[in-house]
Structure 1
Amino acid sequence: MTIEVNNESGFEVDEAEFAALARYVLDAMHLHPQTELSILMVGTDVMTELHVQWMDEPGPTDVLSFPMDELRPGREDDVTPAGLLGDVVLCPEVAAQQAKAAGHSTVEEMLLLTTHGILHLLGYDHAEPEDEKEMFALQRKLLLTFLASR
């Protein structure tokens, strides 16, 4: 898998940890070994621009996902075709505010948001209560099993 992590936010992060998480999630979701993913960390000014441009919402947000080849999860016996999954864009400053309110570290919040963003790229959504329950349970399971394996 090709996972590119770029930090343009000025916030110090262990890029290898985010690449490892992404690799773990893509493996768990049975994506082809040649799947490509980009994770970008940006400041609030860039995130605000993206949020306005793509979601028509004011101010910065925590995470945005930009799917490319519309890949979907595979099954254990049938992985997806190779392709470009897309981009996950994170805003560490917003994540830090959310982490403080939730009572955990900024890194934990950013790992959660990365998992969340990847699931959006795979077609998961949380607009309806049933979909939210499914997505958030999967998100929690993936993140907790990743952290337990470290």
Structure 2
Amino acid sequence: MTIEIANESGVAVPEETIVSVARFALDKMSVSQLAELSIVLVDLDVMADLHERWMDLPGPTDVMSFPMDEYDSARRPDSAGSGPALLGDIVLCPAFARDQAKKAGHSTLDELHLLTVHGVLHLLGYDHAEPEEEREMFGLQNRILAQYREARDEDERAKTQRSMDDKVLGAVGLDDEPGSGPAPAN
């Protein structure tokens, strides 16, 4: 799976985590490993221009999705003639997300993760125009985010454990075997 990210927002953002949550969401949605996705982070002025041009709404917004191809979930990477599925573009506005995160009571990075998953779901055909669609999309979005956080936390626990194990093993020495050290003094 190819995920390209370009930060044109002027805001320092840990891009690898945005790519990570996008990849996680695409994997959870069983999207082909041949899929291609582009994520662009922009400033408020660029987002306001896109929002007005494409949605005919004034001012900036948090996320916009621009599907490229009609995604066909039945297409398999091993089927004849299948090529990369160009999912499209997700455009995020970190400055807008920062303000939204403050109101929601969580970090800007958590908000960007939420918006990334939201954008992925839009590219896959989900919408929230009707109450039933909103329940489905937001429920799925929340489940994916919870699973992502759980996987991320478990990965951090494993890294911490490996680090602690390395410290213990470093104190003993990797080449040391029980009983191979100097004989105890009498």
- The interval holding the TM-score normalised by the smaller chain is over 0.9
Q: For residues 77-113 of structure 1, what are the alpha-carbon distances to aligned partners after superposition, in whole Å with 9 as ceiling and x for unaligned?
A: x757641000000001110111000100001001000
Q: How does 1:1-150 map to 2 (within 5 A)?
A: 1-73=1-73, 79=76, 82-150=84-152
Write the letter of the residue equivalent to 1:57.
L
CA RMSD of aligned residues (A): 1.4
* Displacement of 1:73: 4.4
* Unaligned 5+ runs, structure 1: none
TM-score by structure 1 length? 0.93
Q: Is the 1:30–1:79 Cα contact (8 Å) retained in structure 2? A: no
> What letter corresponds to residue 137 of structure 2 in structure 1?
M
Structure 1 ranges of 4+ moved more than 4 A: 78-81
> Identity across aligned pairs (percent)?
56
Q: Which amino acid aligns with 2:12?
A: E
TM-score (norm 2): 0.76
| Structure 2 CA distance for aligned equivalents of residues 32 and 88 of structure 1 | 18
Residue type of the alignment partner of 1:112: L
- Cα deviation code 1:45-78 (max 9, x no counterpart): 100110010000000000000000121545xxx7
Q: Which runs of 5+ in 2 are unaligned?
A: 153-186
SS of 1:87's equivalent in the other structure is strand
* Deviation for aligned residue 1:147: 1.2
Q: CA deviation at 1:10?
A: 1.1
C-alpha distance in 2 between matches for 1:11 and 1:146: 24
